[in-house]
Chains A and B, each alone.
Chain A
Amino acid sequence: DIVMTQSPSSLAVSAGETVTINCKSSQSLFGSVRQKNYLAWYQQKPGQSPKLLIYLASTRESGVPDRFIGSGSGTDFTLTISSVQAEDLANYYCQQYYDTLLTFGSGTKLEIK
Chain B
Amino acid sequence: QVQLQQSGAELAKPGSSVKISCKASGYTFTSYYISWIKQTTGQGLEYIGYINTGSGGTNYNEKFKGKATLTVDKSSSTAFMQLSSLTPDDSAVYYCARGELPPLYWGQGVMVTVSS
Q: Which residues of B contact A11 (CB under 8 A)?
A: none
Total interface residues in chain B, CB < 8 Å: 17
A66 to B37, CA, bound (A): 28
Q: Which residues of A contact B45 (CB under 8 A)?
A: 50, 93, 95, 104, 107
Does chain A have a CB within 8 A of B61?
yes
Task: Give the dominant DSSP class at A's interface.
Answer: loop
Given known contacts A101-B61, A102-B35, A103-B47, A49 and B109 CB-to-CB distance under 8 angstroms: yes
Q: Which residues of B contact A103 (CB under 8 A)?
A: 47
Q: Which residues of B contact A61 (CB under 8 A)?
A: 104
Q: List 16 A–B pairs whose Cβ atoms lie within 8 Å, in order of A's numbering.
A: A49-B95, A49-B106, A49-B107, A49-B108, A50-B106, A52-B102, A55-B102, A61-B104, A93-B45, A95-B102, A101-B47, A102-B37, A102-B101, A102-B102, A104-B44, A104-B47
Chain B interfacial positions (CB closer than 8 Å to A)? 35, 37, 44-47, 59, 61, 95, 101-104, 106-109
